[in-house]
Structure 1
């Protein structure tokens, strides 16, 4: 087809040239005929031909000038190889696809990018709890006379309780995270987030349980600030599971993100304000602090065995009570009494009459000893029957800050040292519920011995012996996954006093848990 059109074009061009040549010859012949017939002179004919040639030359020059002017706008493109063209197309395609994914073009279900940096987590627990008291217990009034927070020692109690926790973790940028968590509970109890049912239909309160920033300036180094989760490797012998820390902490764990590493050392330290006290006239008490440090090592000689040990030191500052000078109505050291305590620690009266009008008021009790806790925690995890694990735990604590002479000078009392505590526990089953399948299970048995001043009673486990120190006894229990993210657990704890007034308490807890 193209060849036919080309041939046709050439034929047309030849035909037009022939016609022009024929016209030119005809014109010349006509002019010559007019000269021969004496119509034109030879001079007039020559002048006519000269003028025609001049006009033709002028038109030819104009056409060439116009063609040259038009040629100035022509762009000549360098030849681009086909391989380069393909590379350019692929690069442009990848950039467009990446931009489309980032901005979610055409995705009707798309959400803003910043929502992907938020992670929600929560759980709810329904609990039945039975508190059973021995008939031989001393009446609660006897404990209250010596300042112990004991409201019931003889009447069994049954309670239905609920706990809700809802947390949000946000990735602010590459090395900065923020976290908050709200729970049931109240602001005056740091060791429990339970809400007891039976409020005549009144609504429950929610509290801000956590609010912190977490920074990772370099690998293996973590900085915390605010109200943070417990940063220490520990059991509930020293710290209740619901305790959070207010202040700042740092953790350095080289190799912690390397699963194949055999030895993983770590060190954690923190400074935590316990009670800020406004300095003013009539107040001689200083702020109360906790300074803490722990170092340890995780050793994994094989995929079937893991050992972890941690040695910690927890130093409390300004928590011991100071007796008010005579007369006691001055109240200079009333605030040396702890803001919160459970029961068990040695106490003395800081102020027996806190009213300035001379009327008798409830005595103000302070802690008799100082508290500087040395703590050793060891966990051995064996997985020879994977996924079933056998886990042994040992935890020991001693209050090395107990000084009998200082206590006598400060309180006027001679108090015998009871400063040791330990706990052993054996767990068999799935070490941690993965919440992805049912039929996971776990069972445990353990024994605890915690003397009166081994740890601060405010922050130890709130369930065993219904909280506090000066208790010994065993615990047994287990958990079973009913459905995905849903499991049932039960615990029985039986405890007696170590010294002092008789107090035996058995606690049974049956929990239905759901995680979302």
Structure 2
């Protein structure tokens, strides 16, 4: 600390010397008042504490007396007093160097501004959100009560599908019994660290009732048991150039999309390159390229079999190109065209196997989906050889896999316009087509063992298209303060094999595909960064047995 005080004293002395200028015999002594005023200014700016300032004043007075004595004691030959002249440019350079050195030490020792944080802390920021929701689910009494829960069948299976081996039913969905006033919570906390001007790291944790990818909402209750936290995001980003950013890890959705395809809570595992290129003041292009591993086959599958399964990794590749166009002061249009290719996501029919004879599994078990909701066309994966001793009663423990491949064409458009009386309107549309949908290939892949989406004649009841429209009207499209409000209404129509059922919104028709219906709702700003939402969704199945679901959600949303 004494070193810092001495340096500050030297700096003060240099400032005084600069004010004195070149000395001659008649040059006045340094002004004590100017020095004191300067020191007091440093105290007011928070650079010095009061006790340090007093020490400097005392030292400045002592050095001023010594300077006068020194000047008076060095007469020249002709009787004049001379002081060595220091050019102004040299004085300025010395002053700047001393100031920089002193301030650097002051920041390092945290005495120049004692209420601030170290440099590394200034490069870390936090954000998050908390949402409290009351959710009610209403089912029609006319719904079929024999809709199989294939996701649970795969998770708990295999399930013996041979009807001759007992009357145990497969897992079935709840289709008739209402569930009212489920209190649910979503809480997320994120940290972002700026490592350098080009590199950023981020981590986010979140709640969730399970490790499913489409929701971080936790249903409360459970005997007041503690709730789980999951790694929701973890990534590195590199700004490769002014126009290109590369990011990898567990990242937020890098594409312009709607929750009809990808849930708003869905994060992607993999790498993505994002670019943005302005073409004019009103028009710019943007795009994304990405590669994302959906699943790696287990190294040891099957765990207790002598022959291990070959590597069969599932990937999602995505490419998107879009444009932002500021048409005029009141209208803005944003649109994008994307292509998504899901490699090896469809199931595979196994080779002949004999689980009844001790086989630990069949060679295509790993092709079943890691996570699924409902709606996609499925087939039985295992080709089980009958037991010749009792073929009719041979156990048929089965998993199910996706019958269709998925290569998606995705078109999105959003038009924001400002209306009279400070109203704002957002019109949004999304169309998806599965280019890989082929009923002949689905029958061939399944070897005729389709498990759902069939009519009474055995015909496939499915489709390759999905579309949605939504309109939002209010005084704000993004709610940030008290009094902001908007109303929204939309309609969705999702055929069974238009897209994978495992990744989209888990609220509309309680997740998945083979669903159509409308959405109505409103948002209102309760305070800064706090708003309430009411949402009503009424849906039914597109094909197959009757399955109508209405969902009411009442929420308080906060963000920080």
| Superposition TM-score tier, normalisation by shorter sequence | 0.7 to 0.9
Match of 1:372 in 2: 407
- CA shift for structure 1 position 188: 3.0
Q: 1: distance between equivalents of 2:491 and 2:337? A: 21
How far apart are 1:361 and its partner, in Å?
A: 6.5
Q: Given the alignment of the two structures, is residue 137 of structure 1 paired with residue 181 of structure 2, yes or no?
A: no
- Greater radius of gyration (CA): 1
CA distance in 2: counterparts of 1:506 and 1:452, whole angstroms? 19
Q: Distance in 2 between matches of 1:443 and 1:198?
A: 32
**Alignment RMSD (CA, Å):** 2.9
SS at match of 2:277: coil
The aligned residue for residue 287 of structure 2 is 267
SS of alignment partner, residue 218 of structure 1: coil
1:187-226 residue CA offsets vs partner (Å, 9 max, x unmatched): 5310011111111121001000100001102101010110
Match of 1:486 among 500, 508, 530: 530
Deviation at 1:186, TM superposition (A): 4.9
Q: Quick check: 482-491 or 332-341, which moved more?
A: 482-491
| Partner of residue 486 from structure 2, selected from 442, 450, 475 | 442
Equivalence map 1:184-199=2 (5 Å): 184-186=207-209, 188-199=211-222
Q: 2:466 aligned with 1:421, yes or no?
A: yes
Match of 2:344 in 1: 318
CA contact (8 A) 1:285 1:336 kept: no
Unpaired segments of 5 or more residues in structure 2? 1-24, 26-76, 155-170, 301-306, 356-360, 388-392, 449-458
Matched, 1:224 2:244: no
Pick aligned residue for 1:327 from 353, 372, 382: 353
Question: 1:67-90 CA distances to partner (integer Å, 9 max, x unpaired)?
Answer: xxxx9xxxx985334576456536
Q: TM (normalized to structure 2)? A: 0.73
* Partner-residue secondary structure (3-state), 1:397: strand
1:336 aligns with: 367
- Larger CA deviation: 462-471 vs 399-408: 399-408
The answer to whether residue 230 in structure 2 is matched with residue 207 in structure 1 is yes
In 2, the alpha carbon distance for the partners of 1:354 and 1:482 equals 64
CA shift for structure 1 position 145: 12
Equivalent in the alignment of 1:123: 129
User: Contact (CA 8 Å) 1:139, 1:154: kept in 2 or not?
Assistant: yes
Q: Deviations over 1:114-145 (max 9, x none)?
A: 01111101111111000000111000455669
Per-residue deviation, 1:278: 3.3
Q: Secondary structure at the match of 2:445?
A: helix
Deviations 1:402-453 (A, max 9, x none): 1222212111346355010000000112555463x31111210000001000
Q: Select 1:173's aligned residue among 188, 196, 209.
A: 196
* 1:433/1:284 CA distance change after superposition, 3 Å: same
Instruction: Tell me if structure 1 keeps the 8 A contact 2:403–2:446.
Output: yes
Q: Structure 2: how far apart are the matches of 1:407 and 1:328?
A: 25
- Unpaired runs of 5+ residues, structure 1, are 3-70
Give 1:301's aligned residue: 327
My pick for the range that moved more, 88-97 or 496-505, is 88-97
Instruction: Map Cα deviations across residues 60-111 of structure 1 (whole Å, 9 max, x no partner).
Output: xxxxxxxxxxx9xxxx985334576456536644664466457643433222
Matching residue of 2:34: none
The answer as to whether partners of 1:352 and 1:363 remain within 8 angstroms in 2 is no
Matched-pair contact (CA < 8 Å) for 2:323–2:335:
yes
Q: CA deviation at 1:292?
A: 0.7
Mean CA deviation greater in 285-294 or 468-477: 285-294
Residues 466-510 of structure 1 show CA distances to partners (whole Å, capped at 9, x for unaligned) of 000001110011111111221111100000110011100000000
Q: Return the offset for 1:180.
A: 0.6
Contact 2:462-2:543 within 8 A present in 1 as well: no
SS at match of 1:254: strand
Change in CA separation of 1:100 and 1:134 when aligned onto 2, cut-off 3 Å: same
Contact 1:289–1:317 (CA<8 Å) still a contact in 2?
Answer: yes
Answer whether contact 2:461 2:544 (CA < 8 A) is retained: no
Query: For residues 483 and 404 of structure 1, do their structure 2 counterparts lie closer, same or farther at Cα, with a shift above 3 Å needed?
Result: same
What is the CA distance between 1:227 and its match in structure 2? Answer: 0.4
Name the residue aligned to 2:441: 406
Give the match's secondary structure for 1:253. Answer: strand
Aligned to 1:502: 546
Distance 1:93 1:211 in 2: 41
Query: Is this contact kept in 2: 1:284–1:333, CA < 8 A?
Result: no
- Asked whether the 8 Å contact 1:186–1:207 carries over to 2, the reply is no
Answer whether contact 1:352 1:364 (CA < 8 A) is retained: no
Counterparts of 1:335 and 1:81, CA distance in 2 = 82
Relative to structure 1, is the Cα distance of residues 485 and 335 closer, same or farther in structure 2, using a 3 angstrom cutoff?
same
Say how many residue pairs are matched: 438
Partner of 1:251: 274
Question: By how many angstroms is 1:360 displaced?
Answer: 3.8
Are the counterparts in 1 of residues 349 and 382 from structure 2 also a CA contact under 8 Å? yes
> Helix, strand or coil for the counterpart of 2:195?
strand
Q: 2:254, 2:288 within 8 Å by CA — same for their partners in 1?
A: yes
Q: 2:425 matched to which residue of 1?
A: 390
Structure 2: distance between partners of 1:176 and 1:81: 45
- Whole-Å separation in 2 of the counterparts to 1:354 and 1:214: 52
